[in-house]
Chain A
Amino acid sequence: MTRVKTSMGRRSFIKSSALAGGGMVIGFSWLASCRTETTPEEVAMTMPEEWFEINAYLKIGDNGLVTIQSPNPEFGQGVKTAMPMIVAEELDVDWKDVLVEQAPFNSELFGWQFTGGSQGIRRRWEGLRMAGATARQMLREAAAQAWQVPVSEISAAKGILKHAGSGKTAGYGEVAAAASKIPVPEEVELKSPGEFTIVGSSKKNVDGKKIVTGQPLFGMDYQYEGTLIAMAAHPPAFGLKLKSFDDSQVRSMPGIVDVFQIKTLEAGYERNMFDTDTFEDLVVIVGKTTWEVLNAKKALRVEWEPITETKFNVDAFGNKREVVIPAGFESTDIHYKKMKELAARPGRVARQDGNPEAAFNKAAKVIERTYTCPFLAHNCMEPMNFFAHVTEDYARLAGPLQAPSLIEGTLSARLGLPVEKIDIEMTRMGGGFGRRAYSHYAVEAALISRQVGAPVKLVYTREDDMTFGIYRPSYHATYRAALDENNNLTAFHVKAGGIPESPLFANRFPAGAVDNYLAEEWEINSNITIGAFRAPRSNFMAGAEQAFLDEIAEQAGKDPIQFRLDLLKRAKENPVGENNDYEPERYAGVLELVREKSGWGGETSATSRGVSAYFCHNSYAAHVLDVVMENGQPRVEKVVCALDCGIVVNPDAATNMAEGGIVDGIGNAMYGQITFREGAAEQQNFDRYRMIRAGEAPREVEVHFVKNEIDPTGLGEPPFPPVFGALANALYKATGKRYYNQPFITDKALIG
């Protein structure tokens, strides 16, 4: 037990939301029972007659059932199960007596309700423990008062309070009413990790049953009486904007209610970092059913015209910066030509240690390699969509959002409604990967609803979704390494850039491990919009850097794992420079674990192995990936992964997340790309955008976690970036060819 000061507010009543009211035409309850998921036979839960709210996160029923609010939106990373587990742990309640609800969007009660950056569990860890621990303390105090004994003599475990001296016991439900009146304690005891019984033991996804039976959960499933369907036409290429449209044919088509133009951002509005809005002027078609609107959208005639260069300021969490959107039509071949030109010039120096130039001049051997990657579309399986019902003085919104607080202000400004008059319901997201942090579609839905005077669900077609921008940028990185006559790495130089941003992390490994180090960066403006994509920038840099280290190790005649471990030893014992953005010991830890678990060095002749490791989002990941050749085509047979993300809350779900990150990484490295011709994306749907499929996914992925008692860190992103490097290194072993440019495979026919 550790005694800590609490920071829980007094019972902070959940804003009674109009969303809880009627109007739903089908059952749309967020209530998920943990019990039905943990027992094979369904057990009917008897609901309590009365609930007592102990704090914003939890209420206890008079029969001992506990409802826990999961504060962050869920997009498949499992927080809706893991976050309540943390509360339940400190509350010390039996998991089968827990019901889980998606918390309403309410920053006052729940703080930063953001899903992204692998920060969910890390940032919530202390607060969620506090929510459970203070409640437990209040229950103990209530029991102590009822039994007239000192609170120190009351124990609480698995939902039962006990007084050893008198033998008295009571369930949490019996004292919940009294506990709800106890002042929030100023100090509580938190368990030590060794005392955990729920955290660290695998629990099933609380929404599993609903998912496998097709129950409504997602924004696309959202039903509300009288809802119309809306779709929006945007320019077919970047560099174009709306000129005019002719709706004469479309208006008379069956089921069509209205056709009009919307402007999503008003002139002069200062955007935040997530107000990325590729196309501000859209032509909207509203109708009764999806099929009717789809047909009308095809028939709509729109004229587009070229944009002129624009500049605007973006408020990046207090830092203002100017963004330049150039005119013109961009193409992928021009992009690569320009990147090559920029890479040949000196960049902006982001970090320098020692004297790199002198070291390169003195080197016995210099290795230089260049790596590139294309734009990528997020391709969440659930396309962007949003529900809105906006009246003169109130907006009711619902849909998939990673960060409702990032769009609340934009909505308020654009609708001219105070935030108190805007209710946002967070539905389960059919994937996010960063895309749903840019929720311009919520503003679009709201404007459409206001204009048409009815509840509306805005639906993006797959083509709309894939061609709207907000892509993973295209990047370019040139690495140089100097080896002395004893094959020691004496200098390391990275120069990285991209369209329209640089991917460089100047202070990451191998910075700190090499005496002479230089990191430079550059960027090229573009009118193609970009956004965060699972492990932004790391998703390119890890692959490039780890493939380059593999080549250095080879040229130096060293084992690739031992080569990295030697560098990490240097960084630990005698680090070069300051601000090195990693802990060498933990970094080495995952490499050592993956070496042991994969049986490194003992591979068979049929299998080609690659290794890679990376640190990002506060966690460490290392992979050993095995490729086999089948009919001249490489296939990933198996991946062994080692992760250090501190305490693992829900191990099986965490393993699933790592497996998914690995498969996703293989897919994007092998096949993913958006290319442009005359400003238009050449991939608009899954017939031309190749996604990894079942037959291309490894048959086996082994995930091993480093066991420690460090507070949890990121998990959704860290296993993803190093896959690109492990794959490139294994492909080299399999084919004798180094892979520098993603996607690695572009010639195989698409599967229908």
Chain B
Amino acid sequence: MLNINGTQREVDVDPSTPMLWVLQDHLKLVGTKYGCGIAQCGSCTIHLNGVTTRACMLPVSAIGNQEVTTIEGLSENGDHPVQKAWLELDVPQCGYCQAGQIMSAVALLKNNPNPSDEEIEGAMNGNICRCGTYVRIKKAIRLAAKSS
């Protein structure tokens, strides 16, 4: 039994299966993306009890009762302040890495509602974007910090 986005979900998988593939293949929650498989790019960022974790190297056996939040469970209507800021500034280009970026940004603002530029950069350094949308990502975090 897993607690995913506030719902109990049952999966029958090998305990070594990384959470990323449990989400993708078994629960059909495809918003959490595969990018590297070695926790270097951040595309698969989820929250475990509110803390960012890379799902690609996290075996499902390590989850236990911890609350898992994915991009799909961040808000009911896609209206989390960070999501709204992302839309307001039209951050995404291809969009593939953005769910991971948003999950990292949400966790940052939860712990630090008014981060400095350096703190934003430090918190976001684990998420790669080949399209190069970092300038807007940083702006959107500042906007979300102001509006939440």
Contact = CB atoms under 8 A, between A and B. Distances in A.
From B72, B127, B128, name the one whose CB has the most chain A CB atoms within 10 angstroms: B128
B18 A430 contact: no
A459 B125 CA distance: 26
Contacts of B133: 656, 659-660, 663
Contacts of A207: 95
A680 B136 CA distance: 37
B131 interface: yes
A76 B90 CA distance: 12
A95 B115 CA distance: 37
Interface in A713-738: none
Interface string B33-49: 11111111101000000
Given A212-B86, A213-B83, A214-B31, A694 B95 contact: no
Contacts of B91: 656
B68 interface: no
Contacts of B78: 209, 212-213
Given A289-B21, A653-B90, A692 B132 contact: yes
B94 A429 contact: yes
A76 B128 contact: no
Interface stretch (A380-388, A485-493, A558-566): A380-388
A699 interface: yes
Nearest to B140: A212
A212 B135 CA distance: 17
A663 B132 contact: yes
Contact of A430 (B77, B94, B134, B135): B94
Interface residues of B, number: 64
A209 B134 contact: no
A734 B39 CA distance: 34
A223 B92 CA distance: 23
Nearest to B56: A462
A656 B40 contact: no
Nearest to B31: A214
Given A214-B72, A290-B21, A657 B93 contact: yes
Given A76-B94, A213-B72, A431-B94, A220 B34 contact: yes
Interface stretch (A141-149, A331-339, A592-600, A683-691): A683-691
A49 interface: no
B33 A211 contact: no
Interface string A17-58: 000000001100000000001001010000000000000000
B122 A215 contact: no
A379 interface: yes
B124 interface: yes
Given A212-B86, A381-B128, A659-B132, A428 B120 contact: no
Contact of A667 (B14, B72, B127, B132): B132
A428 B96 CA distance: 9
Given A213-B78, A289-B25, A382 B87 contact: no
A295 to B, nearest CB: 8
A127 interface: no
A698 B137 CA distance: 12
A238 interface: no
Contact of B95 (A76, A662, A667, A695): A76
B130 A697 contact: no
A290 B32 CA distance: 14
A581 interface: no
B41 to A, nearest CB: 5
Given A213-B78, A229-B25, A381-B96, A697 B132 contact: yes
Nearest to B101: A694
Interface residues of A, number: 74
Contacts of B77: 42
B4 interface: no
Given A76-B92, A431-B130, A664-B130, A291 B40 contact: no
A205 B90 contact: yes
Given A204-B90, A695-B121, A212 B83 contact: yes
B60 to A, nearest CB: 10
B136 A656 contact: yes
Given A687-B40, A695-B122, A213 B135 contact: no
Nearest to B30: A221
A25 B127 contact: no
Contact of B17 (A208, A291, A462, A700): A291
Interface string A171-193: 00000000000000000000000
A694 B137 contact: yes
Given A656-B136, A660-B93, A214 B21 contact: no
B99 interface: yes
Given A223-B28, A685-B40, A209 B87 contact: yes
Given A213-B71, A291-B18, A694-B134, A223 B30 contact: yes
A290 B130 contact: no
B132 A381 contact: no
A209 B137 CA distance: 16
Contacts of B74: 213
A570 to B, nearest CB: 35
Contacts of B52: none
B26 interface: yes
A265 interface: no
Given A211-B95, A254-B14, A380 B130 contact: yes
A382 B98 CA distance: 12
Contacts of A699: 117, 135, 138
B97 interface: yes
Contacts of A751: 125-126
B145 interface: no
A459 B14 CA distance: 20
A581 B94 CA distance: 31
Contacts of A212: 71, 78, 83, 86-87, 92, 98-99, 102
A327 interface: no
A697 B40 contact: no
Contacts of A169: none
A429 B96 CA distance: 8
Contact of B136 (A229, A659, A686, A693): A659
B24 A290 contact: yes
B145 to A, nearest CB: 15
Interface in A622-666: 652-653, 656-657, 659-664
A517 interface: no
Nearest to B39: A752
Given A290-B25, A383-B34, A431 B83 contact: no
Contacts of A382: 33, 35, 94, 96
A78 B128 contact: no
B87 A37 contact: yes
A289 B22 CA distance: 9
Max chain A C-beta neighbours (<10 A), residue from B84, B99, B117: B99
Contacts of A433: 130
Given A653-B90, A660-B132, A663-B134, 4 more contacts: A213-B74, A218-B33, A659-B132, A693-B128
29 contacts: A25-B28, A76-B94, A76-B95, A76-B131, A208-B90, A212-B99, A213-B74, A213-B83, A221-B30, A229-B25, A289-B26, A294-B37, A380-B96, A381-B129, A381-B131, A382-B94, A462-B38, A656-B90, A656-B136, A659-B132, A659-B133, A660-B93, A685-B37, A686-B40, A692-B134, A698-B135, A699-B117, A699-B135, A701-B135
Which 6 A-B pairs have CB atoms at the shortest separation, nearest pair first? A214-B31, A430-B96, A663-B132, A76-B94, A214-B71, A697-B134
Interface of B: 13-14, 16-18, 21, 24-26, 28-41, 43, 70-72, 74, 77-78, 83-84, 86-87, 90-99, 102, 117, 120-122, 124-138
Interface of A: 25-26, 37, 40, 42, 75-78, 202, 204-205, 207-209, 211-218, 220-221, 223, 229, 254, 289-292, 294, 378-383, 428-433, 459, 461-462, 652-653, 656-657, 659-664, 667, 685-687, 691-695, 697-701, 751-752
